[in-house]
Copies of this chain bind each other. A is one copy, B any other.
Amino acid sequence: MERPRHQGMTKNTYMRWRLPLICLLWEVAMIILFGVFVHFGPEADAHWEEEKREMNLTSDIENDFYFRYPSFQDVHVMIFVGFGFLMTFLKRYGFGAVGFNFLLAAFGIQWALLMQGWFHSFQNGKILIGVENLINADFCVGSVCVAFGAILGKTSPVQLLIMTLFQVTLFAVNEYILLNLLHVKDAGGSMTIHTFGAYFGLTVTRFLYRPNLEQSKDKEGSVYHSDLFAMIGTLYLWMYWPSFNSAISEHGDAQHRAAINTYCSLAACVLTTMAFSSMLQKKGKLDMPILESKLHIQDTCGIHNLHGMPGLIGGIVGAITAAAATEDVYGKEGFIKAFDFTGSYKTRTPSIQGGFQAAGIVVSLLMAFAGGTLVGAILKLPIWGDPADENCFEDDIYWEVPEDEESDVYHMHNPDKAASP
């Protein structure tokens, strides 16, 4: 009997039919939906030569692919290596952090391509996809990775897949309301990705509150090498952030500008963060990785500080900046372009735009709380194989873990298991 049974625990974390079933069913659904709906967009289609002539382009290099592909790959690394390894700091949950992040992101991007496609790239019954859609799907999944940070170590892979399905759906709806109905600018995804992702995750984790989780506190620490793995994640998120923020900016100066801005801001953040990290520690020592220092039991990665607050601040600053914008800064042409004050939005003034930006924040928060409540309630059903309190933050329950010094440490804490081979 390999699973330990303390204090009358009756949780069934056996995944053998549940996980494969849900994975295969959903993948079949994806393949059918892709077959029915997804087509190459004009710039990825073999008819591109005709398209190029129509758009009056002179060279293949003006294909959107060459404007965006390098940034796309950077974003891709952020989602899979950055978020995955960022969360490896827990002593015994490295496989779960990297592996579940991989699973939910890989599922999420498929569903995001469909959901975002129906809202934004739907023409004549077909979703037309190009490199920009791939970036947007990665962005959408980024918000799921943020929410994952709040419930890390306390859920089964089946629960994560269900959360992903709902969160991607709600993300696409929220994004549609903000970008298309409110005509809001959401630089760097402050509202759609960070604010929505963080408060959605926090609402879910509040629902899954475990009053007795304190017991397994000894497993929440890190070990020396797991912190270095987490540093890989941290650095990749930091280094590629300029790509994240510029990946879908307008061609030319706007993309250039977004990258420069992010580069400079991020450099400034490092010094400030180090300063506060050293100031808050009683001997002035630094903590590694710094961003994760406030490890609250029910918000595993501290996403409130990391994404929630910054996202809100970003959103509010965006609203104020919009309200205060003038043609002097942007030039007449650039001004209209920056806020897209064309067509039916021709009459919008900066101050009205500021109001709509503020409305965008409120909508994102409402969607996060309502959606998080719904999903939290669903995940609380006792059929998804979530771990018992004593097994939280432990790879052993869902992964084959090699027998080594790591598990020796484990056996010292779980002597009843050490006896079995």
Contact = CB atoms under 8 A, between A and B. Distances in A.
Contacts of A6: none
A318 B405 CA distance: 48
A387 interface: no
Interface string A47-64: 111101000011111111
A271 B26 CA distance: 9
A30 interface: yes
A199 to B, nearest CB: 27
Given A61-B62, A275-B24, A334 B267 contact: no
Contacts of A235: 80-81, 84, 98, 102
Contact of A27 (B21, B58, B60, B271): B271
Contacts of A17: 279, 284
Contact of A61 (B14, B66, B399): B66
Interface residues of A, number: 134
Contacts of A166: none
B46 A76 contact: no
A348 interface: no
Contacts of A103: 270-271, 274
A323 interface: no
A256 B130 contact: yes
B131 A232 contact: no
A242 to B, nearest CB: 8
Given A130-B256, A251-B60, A107 B267 contact: yes
A368 B224 CA distance: 36
Contacts of A238: 80
B240 A73 contact: yes
A338 B46 contact: yes
A77 to B, nearest CB: 6
B14 A228 contact: no
A34 interface: yes
Contacts of A49: 252-253, 333-334
Interface in A4-31: 14-21, 23-24, 26-27, 30-31
A257 B286 CA distance: 44
Given A23-B272, A134-B263, 7 more contacts: A19-B275, A45-B253, A46-B254, A65-B259, A76-B239, A91-B404, A95-B228
Interface of A: 2, 14-21, 23-24, 26-27, 30-31, 34, 38, 40, 43-50, 52, 57-67, 69-71, 73-74, 76-77, 80-81, 84-85, 88, 91, 94-95, 98-99, 102-103, 106-107, 109-110, 113, 129-131, 134, 157, 221-225, 227-229, 231-232, 235-236, 238-240, 242-243, 251-257, 259-260, 263-264, 266-268, 270-272, 274-276, 278-279, 281-288, 329-331, 333-335, 337-338, 397-407, 409
